[in-house]
Amino acid sequence: MSTAPTLLSVERLSKSYGGVHAVRGVSFELKGGEILALIGPNGAGKSTCFDMLNGQTRSSSGRIKLLGQDTTGRKPREVWRLGVGRTFQITATFPTMTVRENVQVALLSFRRQLFNVWASTPRFAEVEAGHLLELVAMGGYAERPCGELAYGDLKRLELAIALANEPKLLLMDEPTAGMAPRERIELMRLTARIAREKSIGVLFTEHDMDVVFEHADRILVLNRGTLIAEGSPEQVRRNPEVRAIYLGEGLVYDARHREGASA
Amino acid sequence: MAFYVVQFLTGLASAASLFLVASGLSIIFGVTRIVNFAHGAFYMLGAYAAYTLTERLSGAFGFWAGILGAALIVAAVGVLVEMILLRRIYHVPELFQLLATFGLTLMVEDLVVLIWGPSDLLGRRAPGFKGAVDFFGQNIPTYDLFLIVLGPIVLAALWLMFQRTRWGVLVRAATQDRDMVAALGVNQKWLFTSVFALGVFLAAFGGALQIPRDAVNHAMDLRIIVDVFVVVVIGGLGSIVGAFVAAVLVSELNAFGILIFPKISIILVFLVMAVVLIVRPWGLFGKPEAAARRTPGLTLNPWRPLTTQERMLALAGLILALAVPLVAGNYALTVGSEIAIFVIFAASLHFLMSVGGLASFGHAAYFGLGAYGVAFLAKLAGLPMLLCLLLGPLLGVLGAAVFGFFAVQLSGVYFAMLTLAFAQIVWSVAFQWVELTGGDNGILGVWPEKWAASPSHFYCLSIGIAALAVAALRVLVFSPFGFALRANRDSPLRSEAVGIDGKRIQWTAFVIAGGIAGVAGALFAYLKGSVFPDSLGISLSVDALVMVLLGGVDTVSGAVVGAIIYKALSIWLVSQTDLSKLVLGGVIILIVVAFPKGVVGVLETIRNRRRSHSKDSSLLRSQIESAE
Amino acid sequence: MKLSVEALNSYYGPAHILFDVALDVGDGEVVALLGRNGAGKSTTFRSIVGLVAQRSGRIVFEGRDVSDQPTHAIASRGLGYVPEERRIFTDLTVDENLEVGRQPARPNAPQWTREKLFSLFPNLAEMRGRTGGRMSGGEQQMLTIARTLMGNPSLVLLDEPSEGLAPRIVEQMVEAILTMKREGLSIMVSEQNLHFTRLICDRAYIIERGRICFSGTMSDLDARPDIRDAHLAL
């Protein structure tokens, strides 16, 4: 993995809102196929970081480079076109369409066919949409109304949509929030498999330490807008500062993590 | 110089009433999330009630007691309205709330004429404020000075009430999360009622205070409501300070605009509003609206193109419609043409609303612009009919392109208010620019050429164009463009994240809808042989909304059915009664309260229920839980 | 018995969400309602406090049937509800948030003053004048509990208090809940984090697809790994 090229490089990224420094001088790199977790207390600046990476929020200073290209200050749809897929903490899908149509819309947009009045959407790129759904094990749900899906299935659909633009980088904001523990593990395994196969870099935020410690290759710890630690799961878990600020005594996750690992 | 100072003070005095009404609207919206269209009606009722009371009660005390008493009486009416009507519609979509309160406005308009008669009423002058102060040779009425002082006093009183009392804290809390306030043991029903009463009191007080300055008449409700919408759009809905600042701004613009563009002073206000919207889309003191929470349990079935069988049925319906001239007389065919024209108009709005999620309250603007476009081309340029029909709607396209650009920057109630204000601006221009439009007299003599002149030919032409328009819109719904538009409506966040330029898509849809409305307007001009400012008016916009609502917003082509039923009914109604507004208003309220899904929506629900009778609802449950 | 729920059925529009849910909470007890997302935990709580319009069944609180009462009447009898997404009034200050929750003291429930709450949640004391929107997630979670306690409830329903919080904050939450229990408050918590639950609860119910499918003590639950695996997927 160390030989893979740098996919994303963030240099001294900062954001302040009216005098409040939400993010201060955050720098890190991410390689293709690598899974990087961003953790920290609520309000540490994780979401702000995410929003800056995908263009939802403008940074106050600093640079974001995707495959050598400067994307600082680009709009979300421009960043998306450069190959960044995103899933949201609260799933964002199109509830009045079928599962397949959800993916088809993303494909239409990727192929710049949105103003094509003559095409019929329900028949557009059916095969490719089907492949994407197969990839996230949703092939059997293609014709279902998206509004009827269970929460875990919605998360997988969101992943399929996020993969429609053949992304090089996936940004996942609390991908497993609100899911049952087993579903969490399945979703993260799926994500990891796709990331390795397609050499996609994944950056995710997460509060469930079991997911983080099990699936992240590397972890960044953010506190009050500053990176306070970076390293392998083991290094981060042992870091006394991270324990004091964030992880605590391990009463509410450690044991569970061990169980999950042995299961 | 003195003249300008006086002009400035006049503006400030007008701002007082505007502020009272706008702050009332803002307060009510803040807590109930209802944009109370009937606010203008309460303002008008306040003025009428004050007129009656001040005529009866004598002396200075009688006058002021009359003013205050009028506001209190109307506030009591407001309490009744809240308890009887609003409590039933707090949970329906905002569009329906706007429509229901508009229905109320219609009813009040007819009731006012019934009680006080149709002519203007001149009220008493305010005792103690009858004179004027001399300012370097210019007169300033002392009553104006009184109003100038009153505005800030009311502002301060409201501020103290909201910041320093427990009631104010509870109201501000309820503004954010009513359920949570209830879960903390506060009886929110009475909180809502008290807030509504306060808001209505402010509106009625504003109206009552106008009687020494202006004549009381039954059109003052719509005039003020448009100004108030402009004020709250500029100031920011929910902000009292914003209402004050914007009321002053708008009043001053009106006061000085008259000096610059005497005919079309409203243009100045429009320009300022446009600038504010670009810089701060939620108004000067407003806050970005949180995304509306979806009502759980409203699963929508994905739309499907028609099956072959359904296509055949539609074709059969069309052939049947084209066979009508074989049996019907001229009057029936003229009515039929009018219905066909309104099918086009309603379908264009329906496209914007159901696919785009954009509920325009001023769609008549583009219908009317299409009609005026034809009139200009036919009368001024003398072009042949076919060319006029093709080019006339371009005026609607142009209007939709300009206004749509600003309107799509906003969503929800802001969008509704803004489109209404735009339409009203177009109406004012048509009304006031007499040299070009003939003003109230309209443009006459726009008759079809010989080949389309007979009622049966014109009928077939209208039906043909209507069928084309509806079919084209359906194709659009299922084209990538339609899906992109719907994607943006379903989840702006997700659609932006898959590279869809939402604003551009919405703007395009707005222009398309405006163009098709323009086609309807163009035909309408030829049907009537004339064009009047009415074809740009609020009531026509609302007619279209009711047609869409009646057909069912969540359907693909419900508007076709809605337009046929509504137009036929209203033509019949106007022939039967003088109180058509009263009946129509009642019907609108009834639809909102009893059949919010519309005719086609209800039919579809029944069909779906029969089809999926035994379907397990567990999936739905998990979705609802997670949606919470 | 503090609260007893029998044959609770709830609906959202055409969807039947809860099926004959029955549960009870004894005086001074801390009881867990466990289940996956979408199993019906939030709906159960919302139904108990009357925030779900269509429901049927019997809800008896302190010996009185409150099934037909509106939300505010249930709350002012002393049944407190802390919702899942915290739902702080973000435009209001900490003090104002607490003011909204203030209700007179009750004879059968622990009494809370601002001072007592600030000693329970020391972070809040330092930010009395700050608006809710400018607080971190953990601080908001504390404020929302404090706000409900201002109503001097005798029973509190806590919906997923640990969701989305830093592990260290969750540990503080454990302390706070144990203190509330020592004061004599009855508590029902909905949770997904079994470890958090173990630290605070006496008994647990498991809900799955809108039906209660297990009821017992925490050690009963530990003795039934099959149930745990099937419904909590741990």
- Mean pLDDT across A183-204: 90
Closest residue on chain C to A182 (Cα): C233
Single-letter amino acid code for the residue at A2: S
* Closest residue, chain B, to C95 (C-alpha): B169
Nearest by Cα to C53 from B182, B247, B221, A103: B182
Residues A4 and A218: their CA atoms lie apart, in Å, by 15
Residues of B in contact with C13 (CB under 8 A): 296-298
Using only the alpha carbons of chain C, give its radius of gyration: 17
Which residues from chain B sit within 8 angstroms of residue A124, using beta carbons? Answer: 480
Q: Give me the total of CB pairs closer than 8 Å, taking one residue from chain A and one from chain C.
A: 86
pLDDT band at B3 (very low <50, low <70, confident <90, very high): confident
Q: Which residues of C touch A209 (CB under 8 A)?
A: 167
Q: Contact, C82 vs C158, CB < 8 A?
A: yes
Q: Are B255 and B350 in the same domain?
A: no
Q: How many Å lie between the alpha carbon of A109 and the closest alpha carbon of chain B?
A: 6
Q: Is A118 exposed, middle or buried (0-12, 13-18, 19+ CB in 10 A)?
A: exposed
Average pLDDT in the C218-231 region? 82
Which of A92-106, B41-55, B604-618, C125-139 holds the top average pLDDT? B41-55
- Model confidence at A260: pLDDT above 70: no
User: Could you count the other beta carbons within 10 Å of the beta carbon of residue B528?
Assistant: 18
Confidence at A256, pLDDT banded by 50, 70, 90: very low
Q: Say how far apart CA B124 and CA B131 lie, in whole Å.
A: 13
Look at residue A109 and tell me whether its pLDDT is greater than 70.
Answer: yes
pLDDT in the model for residue A263: 31
Q: What's the pLDDT at B298?
A: 43
Amino acid at B470: V
Least CB–CB distance from A177: residue in C164, C193, C196 = C164
Asked if the model's pLDDT at residue B323 lies above 70, the reply is yes
Distance between CA C193 and CA C5 in Å, rounded? 24
B468/A contact by beta carbon, under 8 A: no
Q: Do C171 and A248 touch (CB under 8 A)?
A: yes
Is the domain covering C3-91+152-232 a CATH 1.10.10.10 domain?
Answer: no
- Quick one: how far is CA B12 from the chain centroid? 27
Shared domain for B345 and B212, answered yes or no, is no
Nearest C-alpha in A relative to B294: A95
Pick one of 3.40.50.2000, 3.40.50.300, 3.30.1490.20, 3.40.50.1100 as the CATH number of A1-83+170-263: 3.40.50.300
Q: How far apart are CA B158 and CA C228, in angstroms?
A: 56
Decide: residue A3, CB within 10 A, 0-12 exposed, 13-18 middle, 19+ buried. exposed
Chain B residues bordering chain C (beta-carbon distance below 8 Å): 166, 169-170, 172-173, 175-177, 179-189, 296-298, 609, 617-618, 620-626, 628
- Whether B324 and B268 share a structural domain: no
Same domain for B361 and B266? no
Mean pLDDT of B442-456: 90
ipTM: 0.92
CB A243 within 8 A of CB C163: no
Handedness of CA A121, A127, A132, A133 (dihedral sign): positive
Return mean pLDDT, chain C. 90
Beta-sheet strand order (sheet of C64-65): C15-25, C3-12, C54-61, C64-65
Instruction: State residue B556's pLDDT score.
Output: 77
Q: Are residues B353 and B243 in the same domain?
A: no
* Token output for B210: 């106008």
Q: Tell whether the model's pLDDT for residue C1 goes beyond 90.
A: no
Cβ atoms of B553 and B601 within 8 Å: the answer is: yes
Q: Which residue has the higher pLDDT, B575 or A29?
A: A29
Encoded tokens for B73: 């009486």
Two tokens, residue C199: 């630290």
A105 inside 8 A of chain B by CB? yes
pLDDT score of B623: 46
Confidence bin at B619 (pLDDT 50/70/90): very low
The set of residues, in sequence order, having a beta carbon less than 8 Å from that of B140 and lying 6+ positions away, is B6, B9, B10, B132, B133, B134
pLDDT value at residue A68: 84
The mean pLDDT of chain A is 86
For chain A, give the percent of residues with pLDDT over 90. Answer: 44
If you average pLDDT over residues C199-223, what whole number do you get? 92
**Residue B263 pLDDT:** 66
> Tokens for A94?
């199109």
- Whether C38 has a pLDDT exceeding 80, the answer reads no
Cβ-based neighbour number of residue B429 at 10 Å: 18
- On the question of pLDDT at B85 being above 80, the answer is yes
Q: Which of B279, B301, B325 is the last residue of a domain?
A: B279
Domain ranges of chain A: 1-83+170-263, 91-166
pLDDT, one tens digit per residue, over A56-90 is 888 999 999 988 889 888 888 899 999 999 998 88
The residue count of chain A comes to 263
| pLDDT exceeds cutoff 90 at C84 | no
Residue B294 has pLDDT above 70, yes or no: no
Q: Which of the residue ranges A15-29, B39-53, B511-525 would you say has the lowest mean pLDDT?
A: A15-29
In angstroms, what CA-CA distances link C74 with B39, B151, B199, C99? 34, 42, 29, 19
Please give the tally of structural domains in chain B. Answer: 2
- What average pLDDT does this structure show over A118-126? 82
pLDDT, tens only, A203-225: 999 888 888 888 999 999 998 88
% of chain B beyond a pLDDT of 90: 54
Instruction: From chain A, pick out residues whose CB is under 8 angstroms from the CB of B509.
Output: none
pLDDT of residue B246: 96
Give the model's pLDDT for residue A261: 38
CB-CB under 8 Å, C166 with A42: yes
What does the pLDDT read at residue B293? 42
Q: Pick the residue from chain B with its C-alpha nearest to A177.
A: B626
Is A52 a residue whose pLDDT tops 50? yes
Residue C233 clears pLDDT 70, i.e. is over it: no
Task: Report yes or no on whether pTM surpasses 0.80.
Answer: yes
Interface test with A, best of B483, B511, B554, B608 (most A CBs within 10 A): B483
Contact B419, B545 (CB under 8 A): no
Taking the C-alpha atoms of residue C231 and residue C206, their distance in angstroms, rounded to an integer, is 7
Picking from B226, B258, B279, the residue at the C-terminal end of a domain is: B279
Residue A213 is inside which H or E element, if any?
A: helix A209-215
Please report whether residue B292 resides in a domain: no
DSSP chain C: --EEEEEEEEEETTEEEEEEEEEEE-TT-EEEEE--TTSSHHHHHHHHTT-SSEEEEEEEETTEE-TTS-HHHHHHTTEEEE-TT----TTSBHHHHHHHH-----TTS----HHHHHHHSHHHHTTTTSBGGGS-HHHHHHHHHHHHHTT--SEEEEE-TTTT--HHHHHHHHHHHHHHHHTT-EEEEEES-HHHHHHH-SEEEEEETTEEEEEEEHHHHHT-HHHIIIII--
Q: Decide which of B132 and B396 is more confident.
A: B396
Q: Tell me the CB-side half-sphere exposure of residue B105, using CA atoms within 13 A.
A: 26
Closest chain B CA to residue C54: B297
Predicted confidence at residue B399, as pLDDT, reads 96
Distances from the Cα of B619 to the Cα of A158, B524, C38, angstroms: 17, 49, 9
Q: How far apart are CA B57 and CA B73, in angstroms?
A: 15
Look up residue A144 and give its amino acid.
Answer: R
Average pLDDT taken over every residue of chain B: 88
Out of C164, C167, C174, closest to residue A247 by CB:
C167
pLDDT band at residue B620 under the 50/70/90 scheme: very low
B613 CB neighbour count, 10 Å cutoff: 7
Kindly calculate the radius of gyration of chain B based on its CA atoms and give it in whole angstroms: 25
pLDDT of residue A258: 42
- Whether residue A235 is predicted with pLDDT greater than 60 in this model: the reply is yes
User: Does residue B417 form part of some domain?
Assistant: yes
Regarding whether B364 and B248 lie in a shared domain, the answer is: no
Domain that holds residue B261: 2-279
Residues above pLDDT 90, as percent of chain C: 66
Are residues B353 and B432 both part of a single domain? yes
Q: Say if the Cβ atoms of B305 and A97 lie within 8 Å.
A: no
Residue-wise pLDDT tens digits, B562-611: 999 889 888 888 888 888 889 888 988 988 888 777 777 777 777 766 65
Q: What is the band of B612 on the pLDDT scale with cuts at 50, 70, 90?
A: low
Cβ distance A105 to B484 less than 8 Å, yes or no, reads yes
CA distance A197 to A193: 6
Instruction: Quote the pLDDT of residue B296.
Output: 36
Q: Is-contact B582 B111, C-beta < 8 A?
A: yes
Q: What's the CATH number where B466 sits?
A: 1.10.3470
| Residue A63 contacts residue A11 (beta carbons within 8 Å) | yes
pLDDT at A257: 47
CA C66, C69, C70, C73 torsion: positive or negative?
negative
DSSP assignment of B554-620: TSSSHHHHHHHHHHHHHHHHHHH-S-HHHHHHHHHHHHHHH-TTHHHHHHHHHHHHHHTTT---HHH
pLDDT class for B290, splitting at 50, 70, 90? low
pLDDT at B511 over 80: yes
| pLDDT level of residue B90 (50, 70, 90 thresholds) | confident
User: Which residues are within 8 A (CB) of B313 and not within 5 positions of it... i.e. 6 or more apart?
Assistant: none
Contact B199, B39 (CB under 8 A): yes
Contact B480 A76 (CB under 8 A): no
User: What is the pLDDT confidence band of residue B295, given thresholds at 50, 70 and 90?
Assistant: very low
Closest of B184, B194, B189, B190 to residue B162, by C-alpha: B194
| C-alpha to C-alpha distance for B545 and B542, rounded to whole angstroms | 5
Q: In which band, very low, low, confident or very high, does the pLDDT at A3 lie, cut at 50, 70 and 90?
A: low
- Mark which of B530, B553, B571 sits at the end of a domain: B571
Buried b (16+ CB within 10 A) or exposed e, A159-185: bbbbbbbebbbbbbbbbbbbbbbbbbb
Interface list for A 114-133 with B (CB within 8 A):
114-122, 124
Task: Report pLDDT for C182.
Answer: 94
Which range of B198-207, B254-263, B287-296, C133-142 scores highest in mean pLDDT? It is B198-207
Q: Percent of chain C at pLDDT above 70?
A: 97
